[in-house]
Structure 1
């Protein structure tokens, strides 16, 4: 039976320039043979040695060359034009450079904004930047101070009612801070 089968079955004869897949039995450490895809490529046939061995190169890198027996090859049925790929590659490189420039500009803007916000957080109370003595400086409340004052004023206007053990204990340090801020607002008479 095998003899009759072998009479009718022949391996595909490949020509120079054909695209093929190469079978690779080697499995990387940590992977199983059952689930790994063993065909790599596609490769381009460069020369034929003796109708059995073929010299080929990868489409991606023109330096890497392989000499492979035809039992490890499978024809690639797909359209691929090498000349148009080179022209498309230069166009795509130009587009990538433009995208990279746009991305770097956007990243620089983000970094600058982060630096500014970090400086604002480190110096929460803004003062005049005249560089004079501390007597000349006036207090200007920032957003955090205004927010704290709004919360204090809302609490003062709420109706007073008895709450059963729901109210958390008030810490003296927070009460002192609130009193300081309210005294600033009362002395400056700033509308919030």
Structure 2
């Protein structure tokens, strides 16, 4: 209670023990809860606390209350509460993380399935690649520049193309099934010819 009266010299000059009671604000049961909340905000504001020079804590607002706590008081005490509790925020965060994970997996799966289908246009593209290898072989024949390294690389390319197509065999959607036979026969014929050239090159080296 020291300095309670803001006089010079201070009265009382130091804290003294005194009997005190809790002040209660009684509002009509039909009082606007928002008005009650605003009034409490003013009473517990730093300006008022500095003016009365007393320590006032909001947590004691319901201490020894002899009347039911009004809705306005409850609203005042919860005015700074977050709309979402910490547990709710954690739950939403975990749920969002799970949703993102599942969504990412579904997108990946759809892209994989979409990209793995083999249609007429794609198989024709593979046939063109085989034709390009045949063209390389023809150019080697014209220049006579056969070597085992280049021929081995061509054989590897043919094997890779065949593996890619057969890997999609269970997802083929060809309107012209003959395209698959054309591709496989082209790969087989070209690879056999490459093997013949490799054997011939080995013989020449001897």
Question: What TM-score does the superposition give when structure 1 sets the normalisation length?
Answer: 0.30
Higher strand share: 1
Q: Which has the larger radius of gyration?
A: 2
Structure holding more helix per residue = 2
Q: Normalising by the residue count of structure 2, what TM-score does the alignment of the two structures yield?
A: 0.28
Greater RCO (CA < 8 Å, at least 6 residues apart): 2
